[in-house]
A and B are shown apart, each in its own frame.
Chain A
Amino acid sequence: MTNTHTLNKTAKQKKLIIKSIMWAIMSLFAVLQFFPLIWVTNFSLTKDSDVFTSGILKVPDPPEWQNYSLAWVNGNILKYTINSMFVVGTTILIVAVLSLILGYAFTRMKWKFANAWLTFILIGMMIPIHTTLLPNFLIFRQFNILDTPLALIIPYVAFSMPLGVFIMTGFMRSIPRELEEAAVMDGCGVMRIIFQIILPITKSAMVTIIVMTFINNWNEFIMGATFLSSVMWKTLPFAVYEFSSQYVSRYSVQFAVMVLSALPSLIVYICLNEQIAKGVTFGAVKG
């Protein structure tokens, strides 16, 4: 009796220690992850010279809110944000629809070379962006779409789709076929099965795809700089680049631009963070 009691006690203590270590490690990671964001936000509200103070952070006294108004007005933030939203929004829509349809085709339909095609699409994940810049530039020029949003949407979709298909196929494999069989018995067509039966079940995978596509493309600059030339369609990352060269000596205003341009991604992540975690654990990893 006493022995069992002691054993239980030791086991409990062990559990507690492991839990504490886990908490310590997780907290450390959280701090490390969050620190740059906190730092940038902190110094976007201070005076320029405060960046060089010896302390890690500094209480803004008083907060320099005019840094934000200057960043908003002179940084073209609104125009570039609208452009980014259009380009990334369209990309997300196309990637989401294609991933769903392709995911279904690869996991549920039997057709020749299905696996080979799936591998072919997934290989896309291994292609570095830089190697595609020149060929894409030449092709886009041929099709007369340089300096238009299509010049960004097409490569963004191409680079985001492999990951989308990867997540979706993994997720769909875990959905029992009986559901669709029942739907077919009731006279459901393929499109209806995909959009009415499969889509609601794959919600968390879909959210993961949407968020991944958003985060990967929201800050993209290399393709933007290569394929766009006029101000008309420039996206948000341009604001940071252009602003930092214009306000080289105004660190705090630069930080304000960075905070403003990071805000949309942050909001998306905070709103959907539970779905993202679900999608990744249920879909990609399990699949």
Chain B
Amino acid sequence: MKMKKLLAALLTGIMAVSLVACGNPNPASAGEDKSTETTKETEAAKTPEKSEAVTLKFFSNVPDRTAGLGLLEETNLNSFKEANPDVNFETEFLQDEPYKMKIQTYMQSKNMPDMWMQWGHPAALMPVVQGGFAAELNPDDYKDYGFVPGALEAFTIDGKLYGLPKNADFWVLYYNEKILNDNGIAVPKTTDDLIAAAKILNAKGIQAVSLTGKDRWPTAITLENLILRKTADPKAFNDAIKTGTTSSNEDFLAGVNEFIRLVDNNVFQPSYLSDDYGTAKNLFIQGQAAMYVMGSWEMGMGSDETIPEEVRKNIRATKFPTVNGFPGTADDLVMWYGGGYAVSADSPNKEAAIKAVSHMLDPDIYAKNSWQKQIAIPPMKYDKYLTGNENNLQKDITEIISSAKSTTGATFIDMLTASFKDASEGLTLEMSGKMVSPEEYLSQLDALVKEANAE
């Protein structure tokens, strides 16, 4: 009997604690649909001087809210809130991979946050647009934002704008000035220079160029740079991807062969196929690799206090090398507009969310801070925010972008569907691991295009 009572008390305790603890701290936001209906119904009765408080859900892929882009997002949301006291924000954040998984869940359950980080270009944007999740934005509202040509196009499908870009990304070669100087190596200008440098460095146990293979897309973008050096035409490869005609072009094959030549000459670290983003970056910032191929967003390395000082102050950047005998110049850039923000088409507070996103990317706030705090290269004109106190790495990056003669505007992996992106990245890695020959690589790429177009 005693036992029975004890058990009953225990179970009651569990239930009580669970229910008390599990009570939704913010019933208004969780029961969004219902509360919205109520809001709409009562709107007419609302007194004009008292506006309804709204809570906007913002989903970001930057978990660190205390520094860098995360802090900038928080600051911008707060300044919007100050100007609009009746708007509150609920920020959810996850790292890239879990972020992608969760945004899928949101899409499948038709429960999108009011505003979220959205990758541009068809591969990422198309599913969001086709599902009717992203609200259409008015390009005229952003005429004065100074977006560089091509930036808004990355978020445009069938002539309609579905998001605003926050990054202009391009591929650069970071190098450790001290390691190169100590070994009597000049900053590599061509792939032959890279191969020669690799020979010297490898003999001394230093990796030449750090590259991540596990994350797949950096390998694909590095390859695209080499193809661009051969074609010297920023649109050639991406256009051939759209039509699935890459295998009939000798120039593309030459680019792929050049990539294999770099692999064969141990330009990349031996473990690059299995090294993830963090590992590849760490090889460089811990002084174990002399160079590092990565996007321009890593310019923050120059002021990142967590990087050992002897490496940090020696990090510089240069244009991706040219190839002897190829017509392309170092001023042809593989460039794209990766990240941005989108607003939910079904959000009950769509107008407020659009205003908030527009505020977050206001050039006087975003372009200024992202440049001066070395967070990202803004996709808008930012010359008026140059302070003159930029560090060497920032100056290098500015020089690369300002001397660019042509840009691709997108990468080939982003040209078609999400499944094409996934499959083409995997195929590129197989090619770089020599599981697929360069010829087979291009013909299989064409086959993937056909599959994507049939989707």
B138 within 8 A of A: no
Asked if A149 meets B22 with Cβ closer than 8 Å, knowing A49-B308, A192-B1, the reply is yes
Tell me how far the C-beta of A167 lies from the nearest C-beta in chain B, rounded to whole angstroms: 21
Could you tell me the distance between the alpha carbons of A244 and B64 in the complex, rounded to whole angstroms? 10
Contact A247 B30 (CB under 8 A): no
Cross-chain contact A245 with B92 (CB below 8 angstroms): no
Query: Cβ of B105 and Cβ of A93 under 8 Å apart?
Result: no
Whether B109 lies near A229 (C-beta < 8 A) is no
- Asked if B17 lies at the interface with its beta carbon under 8 angstroms from chain A, I say yes
Name the distance in Å between A84's Cβ and chain B's nearest Cβ. 13
Q: Which of A148, A242, A249 contacts B282 (CB 8 A)?
A: A249
Count of chain A residues with a beta carbon within 8 Å of a chain B beta carbon = 44
**From residue A128, how far is it (CB to closest CB) to chain B in Å?**
14
Residues 64 to 110 of chain A near chain B (Cβ within 8 Å): 86, 90, 93-94, 97
A-binding segment of B173-181, B257-265, B285-293, B339-347: B285-293
What's the count of A-B pairs with C-beta under 8 Å? Answer: 118
Asked if B30 contacts A144 (CB within 8 A), the reply is yes
Closest residue of B by beta carbon distance from A225: B98
Name A's interface SS: helix
* Assembled-state Cα–Cα distance A59/B11 (Å): 50
Residues of B in contact, count (CB < 8 Å): 50
State the CA gap A150–B19 with chains docked (Å): 8
**C-alpha gap A249/B288 in the complex (Å):** 13
B94 x A149 contact (CB < 8 A)? no
Residues of A within 8 A of B278 (CB): 244, 248
A133 beta carbon closer than 8 Å to chain B:
yes
Q: Is the CB of A145 within 8 A of B282?
A: no
| Complexed CA–CA distance, A150 and B94 (Å) | 20
Our pick among B21, B96, B304 for the contact of A86 (Cβ within 8 Å) is B21
The answer, yes or no, to whether A246 is at the interface (CB within 8 Å) is: yes
Is B451 part of the binding interface, using a Cβ–Cβ cutoff of 8 Å?
Answer: no
Minimum Cβ distance to chain B for residue A29 (Å): 25
Could you name 9 residue pairs across A and B whose Cβ atoms are closer than 8 Å? A49-B287, A52-B286, A133-B105, A134-B105, A147-B25, A153-B22, A196-B3, A241-B63, A245-B64
Which residues of chain B have a CB within 8 Å of any CB of chain A? 1, 3-4, 6-7, 10-11, 14, 17-18, 21-27, 30-31, 57, 62-64, 66-67, 90, 92, 94-96, 98, 101-102, 105, 108-109, 111, 277-278, 281-283, 285-288, 304, 306-308
Using CB atoms and an 8 Å cutoff, list the residues of chain A in contact with chain B: 48-49, 51-52, 86, 90, 93-94, 97, 133-134, 137-138, 141, 144-150, 153, 189, 191-192, 195-196, 221-222, 225-226, 229-230, 232, 241-242, 244-251
